[in-house]
A and B are shown apart, each in its own frame.
Chain A
Amino acid sequence: MQNTLTYIFLFPLLIALVMLFIPAERWKVFRRLSFAAVAIQLVLSVILMINFDQSLVPESWEGAFQFVEKANWINMSLGSIGTISIQYYLGVDGISMPLVALSSFVLLIGVISSWNIEEKAKGYHILYLVLSSSIIGCFIALDFFLFYLCFEFMLLPMFFLIGIWGGSRRSYASIKFFLYTLLGSLFILVVMIGLYLSVVDGDSSTFSMVKMLDGAYASDTVLDPGSPQLIFGYSARVLAFIFLIIGFGIKLPAVPVHTWLPDAHVEAPTPISVVLAGLLLKVGAYGLLRIAYGIFPDVAIDFSGFVAIIGVISILYGGMNALAQRDLKRMVAYSSVSHMGFVLVGLGSITSVGFSGSLFHMISHGLISPALFLIAGVIYDRTGNRQMENFSGLAAKMPVYTFFMAVFFFAGLGLPGLSGFVGELMVLMGAFGSSQFSLWIGILSTLGIAVSAAYFLWTIQRMFYGKYFVRESAWESSMFDLTAREKLMLIPLTILVIAMGIYPRLVLDYSNETINFFIQQFSIGQP
């Protein structure tokens, strides 16, 4: 157990390095290596999950993390603010553990989905593995600098993965993605610097997220809760929280900063959509939970209503837009916007069940949305087209495909027995039980369940029911049912979605104690 987190974190990077020295002509080698790297990552995270102590009741954030690895990384004296100390500091708690497992799982699905990529396979797999490392890194980093490093370093591989292997408007989409998310991350950077200048470990400033969570502020620093200092007439902590909301909100994505998402998804190749929807959005949500809410609980309480309203708007607005789409993938992309709104509502509720619900919904959406993109990818792979009006009655021609489609569409619309329902239910339980905002937020979010049913069912009606029809006769020959590889991806996802729907404690047992402790921070924070 000693260095498992490091192995999980850096192993793909190592393999990527090895790939640099393999000639590009042998393209099949790369996918095998990728697969091996991510599979080992998955095995290691499963080992971690088994060894994780679910019953650990934390006393402080310092004690909440397990498998901690800590080493000094950068230590230099930087003038008046003392030494700058950046640590290589890893660890997982009940919140990040399920996310780590989810990441390695979805990344594996992504590799399988990239099996057919022949063009520039070397570059693709190197970038993919770098992406893998940085995504995992985001979830396990306990040093803000390290977190930020990973957070930013997701952008560059993603930019190229969309930009080189994407669809026709890939250049536009990738640059939009990059600019948007960079903007968001720079907001986070500013807050990071502020925190660094305010939080001390002993007597030197530190980037340690754990210290920030535990509120080890030096007195009279900008972000010290006791400091009376105002910035443009606002408390620095309030501004910092808003910055974080914007920064992670872009990544999440929350309305109105969501417009990069549909474009990025539509242009991205299927495996990248899978990773983007399954994991990158979760990084945004994780950042909100861990950093915005974890470090600024006192501000979060005041802003929870605001966050929840953004969430409700995302749910309804995203859902409405999904309903208006004719491109299957774009529809799924907007549904992601809608679903991530639930995460915001759960966070806004500041209740234990709401937080658990948000986390659960993150995991659940992390399984459902990749599957939905795979499903959209199936039809696109076969025909090069995804317009709904070009297909009809696919149920007759492709029954297995239709079965999986139905499972994930219904999971998406929150059918009980599948994981989507549990997350939404818990978030709503939180919303209705919250003392932070009015009942109407809960009622409006509940409406989201009807909206999601509307667009998913309409899609089923248009594409899968009715008489069999495809627009171009050339497509006819390729309208075969799922291949073994496609099933290989969808079956594990299906099993997990059902298992989590029936037995949500699969995830929640990991997070329960951590989240209970988390919620206590808010009651302490309150006057």
Chain B
Amino acid sequence: MDGVGTKWWPYKHKGSVNEVLIISLLFLPLAGGVFGMLFKNTSYSIGGIGLSFAASLLVIINSIEFNTAIQWLPDYSLGIKLDSTAAILICLVTLISLLVHTFSLEYMREDDGKHRYFAKLGLFTFSMIGLLLADHLILLFVFWELVGLTSYLLIGFWYKKDGIPASARLSFMVNRIADVALLAGILMINNSGSLNISELSGTWLFLPSILVAIGAFGKSAQLPFSGWLTKAMVGPTPVSALIHAATMVAAGVYLLFRVAPFMHESTLIIVALTGTFTALYGGLCALFQHDIKKVLAYSTISQLGYMVMGIGVGAGSASIFHLFTHAFFKAGLFLGAGAIIHYLHQVTKADAQDMRNMGGLKKALPWTYSTFLVCALALTGIPFFSGFMSKEGIIIAGWEWAEQIGAWAYIVPDVGLITAFLTALYVGRMVLLVFYSENRLEEKIVAFSENLSLKVPLIVLALGSFWFVFDWNPFAHESRLSGYWSSTPSHSSDSISLIVMILSTLLAISGLVLAYSFFKPGSNYEQSFSKLEVGKFKLAFNGFYLVALYQSIGRGFSRFSQFTFAVDQMVVDGFIHFVGVGSVVISKVIALIDRFMVDGPVNLCGHISAFVGKRVAGLSSRDIQTQLAWLLAGVILILSWILFF
């Protein structure tokens, strides 16, 4: 391998500009965050991430490719590789991160722990870039875990509030369990050759490949791990935008994209089906939420389902494209929600995330409204927006895949289409309930000046949700960026793409129409919304009780641990005590023997001699007649013995 040196620090032995660039790209966000925390100045963080973004742009512009390896363990090197896929995704990550940083400046302005917050954001960005730079699966796992850690730390950011620590732990644990599978999978593959992604070859066996897939499912919140993402929504909203919508959750998709060519075919089918059902699951649940962040979280789950489905059906390129577009519009939606929450926090004490406390915000937050709308349309999959292009690609590929696999496999594209309809429905519901009609709060709506640091990220993300960013042709399901991650452009038959496009556009529009008819200002639903209870949709509202399932597993586990502790105390330690008590009992027995075997005969002798002595003494003290009588008796006794025997 090129660049394998004995020294681990690549900088020393190559010393090229590129390396300096890569290193600053990687470490600047972290350094900025740490310095920002140490010196209590947020500009370090912004500067760090800004420079990092600039560096990533330089990498893109100069099409820098980079490949090295560090000898991490003796005789074991970890590859680092910056190829075009990684480069473009790093660019995406740094961009979104920069926007989130900017947004957070305003959002977190009043918070005491904001320096801690920015340091954690920096650590996260660092880990995410590292994840993308890693060529070696173990190195990838290292950053994968770090990403999980920062997610945990940021979810638990407001650790003093009730419920938040538990949610953070739950998210981390769910991730961790999936990570165990991932690690086991990676280590199984380790035996059959190099773990460098660029050197992978052959097809993995089913077990390792399904384990790796499970790892990816965990991070990308696929069923059955989806629950953690909704729990993660207790973190600060910009964090949700960055980590739980745009970047970290996409890491699973990214991993699947990298390893899909080596996956066992049954695994791929499982991946496709998991993605499909997760998409449907997310869409269904999103429809019944009150909490705006929960709607978005379920929507993210659903969209991630699409991406995973795309990997499963062999349309990796389309999935990454969807990852890309999704990053923009979902981050935009989350930041928009953040702006709303930020605003509501200032006007009311009521739950700022509950849509039942919203309504009519169009007037109060015009910029937010318009950008939110653009992003929402992109999510819906309406032509002329980015979401349309990328989603089509996946569904078309699913259709083609189903043609090859068999009739039952049509469930994949069909569910994809149904989900598209559901997406339109819940997006329409959300937008209508949040921005239209009248405000459902008791407090009066006041005008609110949308700060520049709030506005700029929203506008950038909204712009990124239009079609022209990705291709001039709004009906292309490829992007001009596709070349970065895929060398072979997909070539689907035009008839299928046409059908799918028409179908999905129709479904999306009908979804929106249906949403309008249900949730339009003044409709029954809208009127009663502020007092709406969960009612008959409990199942979907609670996300099919996935979280409750985790919790009960956790409780069972905890109870089991009490049991093992009891075993430890009573059986294992008890055995030792038993031995101890046993020897004490034996020693008592020995003490008894000691007493009776030695003292017994002595005492017996003593008693006998005392008895005899008494008699004898008695004899000798009596008067002489009595003594003679005894003597006579004795003689008679002896004589009779002689006579009769």
Contact = CB atoms under 8 A, between A and B. Distances in A.
A binds B: yes
Interface of A: 176, 255-256, 258-259, 317, 320-321, 323-325, 353, 356, 393, 395-396, 410, 415-417, 421-422, 425-426, 428-429, 431-433, 439, 442-443, 446-447, 449-450, 453-454, 457-458, 460-461, 464-468, 503-505, 508-509, 512
B71 A505 contact: yes
Interface stretch (B139-147, B483-491, B629-637): B139-147
B473 interface: no
Centre residue among A323, A396, A416, A512 by max chain B CB count within 10 A: A416
Interface residues of B, number: 49
B561 A324 contact: yes
Nearest to B70: A503
B149 A415 contact: yes
21 contacts: A259-B572, A259-B573, A320-B560, A321-B561, A323-B561, A325-B565, A353-B76, A395-B159, A415-B145, A415-B149, A416-B145, A426-B73, A432-B187, A433-B190, A447-B180, A453-B176, A465-B159, A503-B8, A505-B71, A509-B74, A512-B75
B63 interface: no
B73 A324 contact: no
Interface in B554-569: 554, 557-558, 560-562, 564-565, 568
A439 B188 contact: yes
Contacts of A449: 176, 179-180, 183
Interface stretch (B48-56, B165-173, B241-249, B598-606): B165-173
B564 A324 contact: yes
Interface of B: 8, 71-76, 138, 141-143, 145-146, 149, 152, 156, 159-160, 162, 164-166, 168-169, 172-173, 176-177, 179-180, 183-184, 187-188, 190-191, 207, 554, 557-558, 560-562, 564-565, 568, 572-573, 576
A433 B191 contact: yes
Contacts of B554: 454
A431 B149 CA distance: 26
Contacts of B573: 259
Centre residue among B76, B143, B561 by max chain A CB count within 10 A: B561
Nearest to B178: A450
B183 A446 contact: yes
Contact of A429 (B173, B190, B568): B190
Given A449-B176, A503-B72, A508-B74, 20 more contacts: A176-B576, A258-B572, A317-B568, A320-B560, A321-B565, A324-B561, A395-B159, A416-B141, A416-B143, A425-B138, A426-B73, A428-B183, A429-B187, A432-B184, A442-B184, A450-B180, A458-B169, A505-B73, A508-B73, A512-B75
A315 to B, nearest CB: 12
Given A415-B146, A421-B142, A432-B188, A504 B72 contact: yes
Nearest to B160: A467
A505 B169 contact: no
Contacts of A416: 141-143, 145-146
A257 B166 CA distance: 34
A455 B315 CA distance: 40
A177 to B, nearest CB: 12
Contact of B187 (A393, A442, A468, A505): A442
A115 B145 CA distance: 38
Contacts of A317: 564, 568
A457 B564 CA distance: 19
Contacts of B560: 320
A426 B75 CA distance: 13
Contacts of A505: 8, 71-74
Contacts of B562: 324
Nearest to B139: A416
A458 to B, nearest CB: 7
